[in-house]
Amino acid sequence: MDELDRRIVNALQGGFPICERPFAAAAEGLGTDEATLIARLRAMREEGVLSRFGPLFKAEGLGGAVTLAAMAVPEERFEGVAALVNAHPEVAHNYARDHQWLNMWFVLATEDEARVGATIRAIEAETGLPVLNMPREAEYHVGLRLEA
């Protein structure tokens, strides 16, 4: 990532303009142009630097459900299992962790609590691995800031 990419990630986590040309407005605040901002976001998505770019809704406020899930995935199967997990539209994000027992962690956001269970069961059936479901008990906001 170069300096502009870092500034884009840092700036757009805090909000995105709601107007007729939001990318143009965001680009102006970053000292670049609309086409460059869109191209940079597209490149970061294609390169896997960003897993997604879009709004983050509070699923529970809309009647949905969210949970943190984790799996113990054999290292040699990690990429294949990640592809299966990530194929589910309910998976908001998925990441590897250096953890003694659980090395794949992901967040599920669904339209209701029953869909959380159904998605977990589907992932277990597809991978042959158990999924630990850890529903949120309290909410904390942690922002990612990329320093130069």
Q: Give pLDDT tens digits for 35-94.
A: 999 999 999 999 988 877 877 666 676 678 889 999 999 999 999 999 999 999 999 888
Phi, psi angles (nearest 5°) of residue 63 = 90, 5
Q: Give pLDDT tens digits for 108-135.
A: 988 888 999 999 999 999 999 999 999 8
Q: Give pLDDT tens digits for 3-49.
A: 999 999 989 987 889 999 999 999 999 999 999 999 999 999 999 88
In the beta sheet, which residues pair with residue 110?
Answer: 65
**More confident position, 92 or 148:** 92
pLDDT number for residue 29: 93
Query: Structural domain boundaries of the chain?
Result: 3-46, 59-135
CATH topology of domain 59-135: Alpha-Beta Plaits (3.30.70)
Q: Give the strands of the sheet with 91-96, arranged side by side.
A: 91-96, 104-110, 65-71, 132-135
pLDDT number for residue 59: 67
- Buried b vs exposed e over 78-110: b needs ≥16 C-beta within 10 Å? eeebbeebeebebbbebeeeeeeeebbbbbbbb
pLDDT number for residue 98: 87
